[in-house]
C-alpha cells in the first residue's frame, strides 16, 4: 500500500493476543463467556483473540456506525445490528478494534448494561492515548498508539485496507 508504514507487525499482534487470551482465560476461569464483536472492524481481532481463549465461549456481533467515510468521529452512534441473544446474567466481553473518542463504546456499554449482564468488560486491540473524550474502562488493551489514523487488521479507511495483516499508519493527505 502506498503512503503507509507498518506501525505494529502481524507477529507483534499475534504475541499480544496470546497474552490477552491467557489473561482472559485466567480471569473467567470456570465461567462461560459471550464475546461480542463490534462489526466490521473487530472481525479479525475477534477471530484471532478467541482462538487464544480456553473457555466455553459463545459469539455475537453488533454493528454500529459512527464515522461514515470520514476520518473524524461525528459523535453520532447508530446501532445498525443489535445482538441476537439475551445477555442477562451472562459474562459479556465486548471486542473492539480501536478506541478513539470512546463515544462508540460509551454508548454501547450503556445500552448493554441496562440488560443486566453478570459482567461487562471491554477488550480493544488499540487505544488512542489521550484522545478519549468520554471516560471508559478498557480492561484488556493490546497497544496504546498516538493520534494518527491507522488501517489494517480489520481497520479501514473508506472501506479499504481491512485485509492488511499488520497495523499501518495511513497518510490521509
Ligand atoms: P470512537 O467512537 O471515536 O471511539 O471510534 C471508534 C471507531 O472509530 C472504531 O471502532 C473504528 O471503527 C473507528 N476508528 C477510530 N479511529 C480509527 C483509525 O485510526 N482507523 C480506522 N478506524 C478508526
Ligand atoms: Mg469499529
pLDDT at 3 over 90: no
Closest ligand to residue 77's CA: 1
Spatial distance between the Cα atoms of 49 and 172, rounded to a whole number of angstroms:
29
Residue 85 lies in a domain: yes
Percent of the chain scoring above 90 in pLDDT: 77
pLDDT at 73 over 70: no
Residue 54 lies in a domain: yes
Instruction: Write down the pLDDT at residue 138.
Output: 95
Q: Which residue shows C-alpha cell 482462538? A: 51
* Residue 12 backbone phi and psi in degrees, to 5: -65, -40
Residue 154 lies in a domain: no
> Is 82 a known active-site residue?
no
pLDDT in tens, 15-62: 999 999 999 999 999 999 999 999 999 999 999 999 999 999 999 999
Residue 6 lies in a domain: no
Bond before 40 cis per omega within 30 degrees: yes
Whether 123 contacts 24, CB under 8 Å: yes
Lowest mean pLDDT among 113-122, 124-133, 162-171: 124-133
Structural domain count of the chain = 1
Instruction: Write down the pLDDT at residue 134.
Output: 80
Atom of ligand 1 nearest to the CA of 148: 19
Atom of ligand 1 nearest to the CA of 102: 4
Residue 167 lies in a domain: no
Spatial distance between the Cα atoms of 12 and 133, rounded to a whole number of angstroms:
28
Instruction: Write down the pLDDT at residue 135.
Output: 82
Residue 57 lies in a domain: yes
Nearest CA to ligand 1 atom 17: 149
**If you write DSSP's letter for every residue of the chain in order, what string do you get?**
-TTEEEEE-HHHHHHHHHHHHHHHHHHTTTSEEEEEEEETTTHHHHHHHHTT--SEEEEEEEEEES-TTSSS--S--EEEE--SS--TTSEEEEEEEEESSSHHHHHHHHHHHTT--SEEEEEEEEEETTT-SS----SEEEEEE-SS-EEBTTB-BTTB-TT-SSEEEE---
pLDDT at 69 over 60: no
Q: 14 or 4: whose pLDDT is higher?
A: 14
Q: Which domain holds residue 35?
A: 11-66+77-148
Looking up residue 23, the CATH number of its domain turns out to be 3.40.50.2020
Question: Rounded mean pLDDT of 111-119?
Answer: 96
Can you say whether residue 152 is alpha, beta or left, with left for phi > 0 and alpha for psi between -120 and 50 degrees? left
pLDDT in tens, 78-106: 889 999 999 999 999 999 999 998 888 99
Q: Which of 48, 97, 100, 156 is catalytic?
A: 100
Question: Rounded mean pLDDT of 62-78?
Answer: 68
pLDDT in tens, 138-167: 999 999 999 999 999 999 999 999 999 999
Atom of ligand 1 nearest to the CA of 38: 10
Q: How far is the CA of 97 from the centre of ligand 2 (A)?
A: 6
Residue 2 lies in a domain: no
Instruction: Write down the pLDDT at residue 171.
Output: 73
Residue 90 lies in a domain: yes
pLDDT at 70 over 60: no
Q: Which residue shows C-alpha cell 481463549? A: 53
The model's pTM is 0.92
97 touches ligand 1 (CB under 6 Å):
yes
Nearest one of 172, 138, 137 to 156, comparing CA atoms: 172
Amino acid at each position: 500500500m502506498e503512503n503507509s508504514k507498518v506501525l505494529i507487525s502481524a507477529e507483534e499482534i499475534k504475541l499480544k493476543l496470546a497474552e490477552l487470551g491467557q489473561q482472559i482465560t485466567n480471569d473467567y476461569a470456570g465461567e462461560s463467556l459471550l464475546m461480542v464483536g463490534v462489526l466490521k472492524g473487530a472481525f479479525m481481532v475477534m477471530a484471532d483473540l478467541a482462538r487464544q481463549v480456553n473457555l466455553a465461549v459463545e459469539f455475537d456481533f453488533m454493528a454500529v456506525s459512527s464515522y461514515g467515510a470520514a476520518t473524524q468521529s461525528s459523535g453520532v452512534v447508530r446501532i445498525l445490528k443489535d445482538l441476537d441473544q439475551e445477555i442477562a446474567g451472562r459474562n459479556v466481553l465486548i471486542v473492539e478494534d480501536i478506541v478513539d473518542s470512546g463515544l462508540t463504546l460509551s454508548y454501547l456499554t450503556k445500552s448493554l448494561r441496562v440488560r443486566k449482564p453478570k459482567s461487562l468488560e471491554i477488550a480493544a486491540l488499540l487505544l488512542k492515548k489521550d484522545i478519549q473524550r468520554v471516560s471508559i474502562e478498557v480492561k484488556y488493551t493490546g497497544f496504546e498508539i498516538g493520534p494518527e489514523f491507522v488501517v489494517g487488521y480489520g481497520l479501514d479507511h473508506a472501506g479499504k485496507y481491512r485485509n492488511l495483516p499488520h497495523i499501518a499508519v495511513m497518510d490521509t493527505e
